Structure 1
């Protein structure tokens, strides 16, 4: 199975998700450090669609100004544009496998796609 993690090495939950993926037998892991390699709006839209959540559900609220900027109530295009411009607004970790996509908060959500 292939797995891609949209990862922030400074985040404990993201590090734990990466360790869980690497410990899973038969999983080939691709790591994308999204703060260095921001995803496109189209890729983010696809990830959230496949995860069954709206882009604003994938907004990082903690330690950002997302709420003050009204992004928690904004339309999808506005949220995606903000995330692309400022990847720190992307909640992590997002994990994509052959079985689907999950925003792995809590970390146990990763089990749904392994």
Structure 2
């Protein structure tokens, strides 16, 4: 339940940042949008985000056309990494097998640049 709420809240924060933070908006305009998602490995909890300079939408599940997916071994691992989303936290998670990146790692760098403006 905590992870579902955290992912919903992340969508809220992304939408608010688009409205209120010019640096976030500029960064998103430069990359011309990003479609990404977060899920547990068993897909029991999954949420996707479609971000463009015109707006951000989020929804349940993981569509197949996403640019980037972050898959976590379980809810506890996801919460632990998402509470402190640094490059090192993601790298440590990937090295230990707790986090799996599906997609281009360059998109992960773009996402981290955006998330620091939240």
Bigger strand fraction: 2
Bigger helix fraction: 2
Q: Larger relative CO (CA 8 A, sep 6+): 1 or 2?
A: 1
Give the TM-score taking structure 2 as reference length: 0.30
Give the TM-score taking structure 1 as reference length: 0.31
